[in-house]
A and B are shown apart, each in its own frame.
Chain A
Amino acid sequence: MRLSPDNRARLLLYGSFAAAILLAIMPLPSWLEDFRPDWVGLVLIYWCIAAPQRVGVGTGWLLGLILDILYGHALLGLHALTKATMAFIAMRLHLQLRMFPRWQQALAIAVLLFIGQLIVLWVRGAIGQAPKTFSYWTPAIVGLLLWPAVFAVLRNLRRRGDIR
């Protein structure tokens, strides 16, 4: 079956989001659970930087809402708010972020992931469910370490699908 280039690009884009969501809810052994990075956040930030005409605040919000529904115990709308904000910042800075050397880019992404977690922490703190352990912040650090790999994989995908 031949897909038109546009459909092909769309398929790859949605496929990468679906994969990120599955990775985000995949059951892990409990000792690994703390190290699970914000997969959806990483993929979303990549596309906001690489294809801001296609992926933006609305996409982030929708992805966050899907996560909220899947997590079940989370407040409905919390991750939607977080992901929309992250997408907004990534879009605003996408020109600078593209020019950064890779390690500097990874640091900036870590700050973005950190901001996302900070929003979750604030909202959960406001309803008295704030996590009190330091391990709450490990996903941002894991995200920092994983960024070069995520970037390489998604850039490959983008070039293959000719997503602009």
Chain B
Amino acid sequence: MITVFGYPLRAPSPFARLVLLSALSTVLMVLDHRGHYLDGFRSATTLVIRPVYAVAGLPGEVIEAVSDFFTTSRTLRGEVTVLKDENRELKARTLRYEAVQAENERLRQRLDSAVRVSTRHMAANLIEVAGEPGARKIVVARGSRQGIYVGQPAIDAHGVLGQVTQVAADVSRITLITDPGHAIPALVNRSGLRVLVFGTGDQNTLKVAHDMLKVPYLTASADIKPGDLLVTSGMGGTFPPGYPVGVVVKIVHNPNEAFLDVHVRPAARLSHGTQAILIWPTRAPLKAPGPPVTKPAKP
């Protein structure tokens, strides 16, 4: 028995422990919520918890593998037919694309303007699609160590996703174009009209399953109509020009209001897939640190 000044030191009673530990957890919660003092601790723990999640995910992966194995040949045959059709269509499109690209380059040379094609890109896996309610943000598993910088554009196979707004060592947060606080300069592809496309973070306006974009401050005389494709204009320097932003689905003209109510469906599949593609425009703004040249990032 250990004694302190002649008094025997006993293990604290369960109640004393509860009081002590409750106080401790309250302090932790306050530190975590109010001051974000524990952010460093949290980012340190992400390294530790990855393997735990990998182990926890094993049963699910096994089940998936087994069900994959037992997929009937009928489903497979159906899928093959669909894929063949799609492949044929895509091939046809690629043929045209190459011709158009060649023509485009010729024309650009005549115009004596540099071709602005993005040369570098990197796929990044989505880790999290959560965040504050109302906001539209995603977290991907690439960070400053891979050369990601704040303001970097992100796309998917169909169009612009958004831009990087927070960067940590191995993760970064992308604000989607549908976030209520996001705006992107664009062009109406058909008429060349310059517009600003804002996110709404709202899917209820048209009763659709995905979030919508809006184009405010257009008067009734603006040259825009349903079906128009909006592409990035490259103004502002954040987004390289020519990437699809969205398609105008509906224009409401309320005579009592000064501006049109333009609803745009985003081109990117914002709520699909598990990967985002981060790109480095060839003419990135000067202040943005480019990707490390000496150390090529993993694909």
List the interface of chain A (C-beta within 8 A of B): 21-22, 25-28, 56-58, 61, 64-65, 69-70, 72-73, 75-78, 80-81, 84-85, 88, 91-92, 123, 127
A-B contact pairs, 10 of them (CB 8 A): A25-B53, A26-B59, A26-B60, A57-B14, A69-B42, A69-B49, A76-B41, A77-B27, A80-B21, A81-B21
A85 in contact with B33 given A27-B57, A80-B25 (CB within 8 Å): no
State A10–B45 Cα separation when bound (angstroms). 26
A72 touches B49 (CB 8 A): yes
Known: A28-B60, A76-B38, A80-B28. 17 other contacts (CB 8 A): A22-B52, A22-B55, A25-B52, A56-B14, A56-B17, A57-B17, A57-B21, A69-B48, A76-B41, A77-B25, A77-B32, A78-B29, A81-B21, A81-B25, A81-B26, A84-B18, A84-B22
Counting CB contacts under 8 A, is B5 at the interface? no
Mask: chain B, 8-22; 1 = CB below 8 Å from A; 0 = not: 000000110110011
B29 touches A76 (CB 8 A): yes
Q: Which residue of A lies closest to B127 (CB)?
A: A72
Q: Which of B25, B31, B45, B52 contacts A61 (CB 8 A)?
A: B25
Secondary structure type dominating chain A contacts: helix
Closest CB in chain B relative to A112 CB, distance in Å: 14
Mask: chain B, 35-50; 1 = CB below 8 Å from A; 0 = not: 0001001100110110
Contacts of B130 in A (CB 8 A): 73
Contacts of B18 in A (CB 8 A): 57, 84-85, 88
Closest CB in chain B relative to A30 CB, distance in Å: 12
Q: Which of B15, B17, B22, B42 contacts A72 (CB 8 A)?
A: B42
B26 touches A77 (CB 8 A): yes
Closest CB in chain A relative to B48 CB, distance in Å: 8
Q: Which of B75-93 contact A (CB under 8 A)?
A: none
Q: Which residue of A lies closest to B41 (CB)?
A: A76
- Interface size of B by CB at 8 A reads 30
Counting CB contacts under 8 A, is B24 at the interface? yes
Q: Which residue of B lies closest to A79 (CB)?
A: B25
State A22–B28 Cα separation when bound (angstroms). 24
A123 touches B55 (CB 8 A): no
State A153–B270 Cα separation when bound (angstroms). 44
Q: Which 7 A-B pairs have the closest CB atoms?
A: A77-B28, A77-B25, A81-B25, A76-B32, A77-B29, A57-B17, A80-B25
Q: Which residue of B lies closest to A61 (CB)?
A: B21
State A32–B26 Cα separation when bound (angstroms). 31
B56 touches A58 (CB 8 A): no
Q: Which residue of B lies closest to A28 (CB)?
A: B60
A26 touches B33 (CB 8 A): no
State A123–B29 Cα separation when bound (angstroms). 9
Q: Which residue of A lies closest to B59 (CB)?
A: A26
Closest CB in chain A relative to B35 CB, distance in Å: 12
A75 touches B21 (CB 8 A): no
B22 touches A85 (CB 8 A): yes
State A28–B57 Cα separation when bound (angstroms). 9
Contacts of A127 in B (CB 8 A): 33
B14 touches A70 (CB 8 A): no
Q: Which residue of A lies closest to B23 (CB)?
A: A81
A84 touches B57 (CB 8 A): no
Closest CB in chain B relative to A74 CB, distance in Å: 9
Contacts of A26 in B (CB 8 A): 56-57, 59-60
Q: Which of A22, A70, A77, A80 contacts B49 (CB 8 A)?
A: A70
Residue in A65, A76, A80, A92 with the greatest tally of chain B CB atoms within 10 Å: A76
State A133–B24 Cα separation when bound (angstroms). 30
Closest CB in chain A relative to B117 CB, distance in Å: 38
B25 touches A78 (CB 8 A): yes
Contacts of A25 in B (CB 8 A): 52-53, 56
B56 touches A22 (CB 8 A): yes
State A64–B14 Cα separation when bound (angstroms). 17
Q: Which residue of A lies closest to B17 (CB)?
A: A57
Contacts of A28 in B (CB 8 A): 60
State A73–B52 Cα separation when bound (angstroms). 16
Residue in A28, A77, A85 with the greatest tally of chain B CB atoms within 10 Å: A77
Q: Which residue of A lies closest to B13 (CB)?
A: A57
